[in-house]
Amino acid sequence: MALGVIASALLATTKIAAGIVGNSFALVADGVESVLDIFSGLLIWGGLRVSAIPQTERYPYGLGKAEPLASLVVSTVLLMAAVGIAVGAVQEIVTPHQGPAVFTLVVLVGVVATKEAMFRMLSAKGEAIGSQALQVDAWHHRSDALTSLAAFVGISVALIFGEGFESADDWAALVACAVISYNGIRLFRASLKEVLDVAAPGEIRDRIRDVTESVPGVEGIDLLRVRRSGLVLWVDIHVEVDAELSVREGHEIAHLVKDRLMDSDLRILDALVHIEPRPHLEQHARVEPDTRKA
């Protein structure tokens, strides 16, 4: 995470300076977006640190929601950046100005390569630990790479076609804004769902069912609720057992279910196991009285 913040700071400085000297608004706007990467990187880092704080008496469910909340803030900032860049690009389009310098293309090649590498690294890490915040931060770098790529195309058009095409990089910035907005909305929705306790994916619930049903004495699952809190899961499950079992026997089965779930690789922080009696399914023939008159 620290490496990403340092890299974003260097890239932001390089792009803004090259954009000003090379007369490219797309590159300046791209640099501003990289400044936001610094902010988002620090925010994501803080959210992950807070979400890892153990449960306390005041926060018995932990602080896992800090991670998706940080993601919400970052995705919101991403959308605001898109709006700001779009406004600036429109102003540049309607204002006559010189075309960009050739050296700005060299700067953009390095930027795109660096940002794409950062996206791949953070995306893989976020997927490995199940972090929505890291996935958001990764896509922030991918969005930055896309804005740089769009700027590269726009500057190339302006340089190739010359007079009359000076604003090509400004139009490219508008295209990049559309891409940033799309990713921002998509990531905002994903983070909001986690904050609102959306159900865990079906494959996770299926694995929890498999683990539970492997416990001796479990005859079925009556209810299963799974929600994510940061990097961990909270599970509420109702398991069915033989109705003729004693309270002690049912309690032991519940403990076995919880132990199996907690020992699995599903990163379950806690599981609340409720026992439901399952009646025997044998159907006894019912003898109807003969009401006919003799």
pLDDT (tens digit per residue) in 144-173: 787 778 778 888 888 888 777 777 877 877
In this prediction, residue 3 carries a pLDDT of 65
pLDDT tens digits, one per residue of 199-235: 788 889 999 999 999 999 999 998 999 988 877 889 9
> What is the amino acid identity at position 154?
G
Residue 174 burial class via C-beta count within 10 angstroms: exposed 0-12, middle 13-18, buried 19 and up:
buried
Closest CA to 155 of 27, 14, 287: 27
Residue count (the chain): 294
pLDDT at 283: 40
Q: Which domains does the chain have, with CATH numbers?
A: 2-195 (1.20.1510.10), 202-278 (3.30.70.1350)
Parts of the chain with a pLDDT under 70:
1-5, 33, 36-37, 96-97, 130-133, 136, 279-294
Report how far residue 292's alpha carbon sits from residue 5's, in angstroms, rounded to the nearest whole number.
90
Q: What angle do CA 181, 182, 187 make, to 5 degrees?
A: 95
- pTM > 0.75: no
pLDDT value of residue 4: 64
Give yes or no for a contact between 13 and 140, defined as CB atoms under 8 angstroms apart: no
Quick check: helix, strand or coil at residue 131? coil
pLDDT at 287: 42
What are the helix and strand counts (H, E) for the chain? 8, 3
